[in-house]
Amino acid sequence: MSCKIIIAKDHEGRRLDRTIRSIWPVLPLSAIMRALRKGEVRLDALRVHEAGARVRAGQELYVPWEEPGAETLDVSRRGAVPVLWRGENTLVLNKPAGLLVQPDVKGGDSVITRVWGIFGAGGQGFSPAAVHRLDRNTTGVLVVALSGEALRGLERLFKERRVVKRYLAVVVGTLPKKGVIDIPLLKDELTNTVRAGTGKTARTHYTRLAGDGELSLASIELLTGRTHQARVHMAHIGCPILGDGKYGDVKVNRRWRGKAKRPLLHARELGFPHGLTGALAELSGKIFRADPPEDISKFFLEGRNPYTPPDIM
């Protein structure tokens, strides 16, 4: 079984694999890659093997699958994701802990599948897409594109590092008042772990907002967007994030396991530059903030320190 569709303008200039995933959002990535390897995907009758090939509006796309929309998503069991702001082309959410941004299995629960349950997914048009990633157990501000033009524009902004990304974290020990961590990071795809000292450039600014000698509350600004960057960089300087089972302090985590059941990291703020045009004009100069969840705010509101997290920015 196969089908042919015409590439819509929302997909102009996008990678072929991302275009296919937008049109068939419940299709496993492995199926897409296999079809490409076998030469079963064509653009204007030409076989395409490269996932990164760019598509153009108006091209004919041939694939070995059913028409988009033939499979439906069961969203009845899924909860909502708090909305911080909604525009015509973009959606800003407050991601909860324990939820992936993208599904890891066919039909799996995630931020995006919940958004699809509201806005729809598949079809020959555009499916809402996350522009950046937060780890499963990281909470906070996440932006989703609702149109192809917005997605392309946001991808450029993040690539050019024009979006301000600030986090709030509870870290172990007494963090210096201010500092910069400029240490490259290398990801091991097999183990999904990251090590510091080699790899891609990574730069992090941090400020200590409060502390009691045992723990510190940190404001962390990521100037790059590497996998696990905040977690690895803070661990590298000896102040790992509390509750981090992968890069953290095992003994301290064990002592606080009743209150720190995840890495206590929260995407507090996302800021966009002025002068944006087109689909992104609605984001121009805007700053979005999400208050920290209870498991973070409790550490500095229950007699440990008079500091109030909502006042940090």
Smallest CA-to-CA distance from 114 within 158, 135, 144 is with 144
Query: What residues make up the domain containing 227?
Result: 164-311
pLDDT along the chain (313 residues), means of 10: 81 87 74 89 92 90 75 50 91 94 81 80 70 94 93 94 96 96 94 93 95 91 95 97 96 91 96 96 96 84 43 39
Residue identified by tokens 């509201």 is: 118
Examine the domain organization and report whether 223 and 307 are in the same domain: yes
Domain termination site, one of 156, 185, 213: 156
Examine the domain organization and report whether 168 and 57 are in the same domain: no
Residue 183's pLDDT is 97
Rounded Cα–Cα distance for residues 116 and 33 (Å): 23
Examine the domain organization and report whether 305 and 254 are in the same domain: yes
Residue 94's pLDDT is 95
Dihedral of alpha carbons 242, 244, 248, 249, sign: positive
Examine the domain organization and report whether 278 and 180 are in the same domain: yes
Residue 192's CATH number: 3.30.2350.10
Residue 57's pLDDT is 87
Helices 16-23 and 29-37, interaxial angle, to 10°?
A: 130
Domain termination site, one of 100, 132, 156: 156
Rounded Cα–Cα distance for residues 310 and 291 (Å): 6
Rounded Cα–Cα distance for residues 174 and 191 (Å): 30
Examine the domain organization and report whether 24 and 95 are in the same domain: no
Examine the domain organization and report whether 148 and 268 are in the same domain: no
Domain termination site, one of 98, 129, 156: 156
* Residue 199 phi, psi dihedral angles, 5° rounding: 110, -145
Residue 180's pLDDT is 97
Examine the domain organization and report whether 220 and 195 are in the same domain: yes
* Residue 240 in domain: yes
Q: What is the pTM of this model?
A: 0.75
DSSP letter assigned to residue 148:
H
* Residue 252 in domain: yes
User: How many separate domains does the chain show?
Assistant: 3
**Sequence-ordered alpha helix ranges (H) in 94-167:** 111-119, 148-159
User: Could you tell me how far CA 114 lies from the centroid of its own chain?
Assistant: 15
Residues labelled catalytic:
135
Residue 304's pLDDT is 45
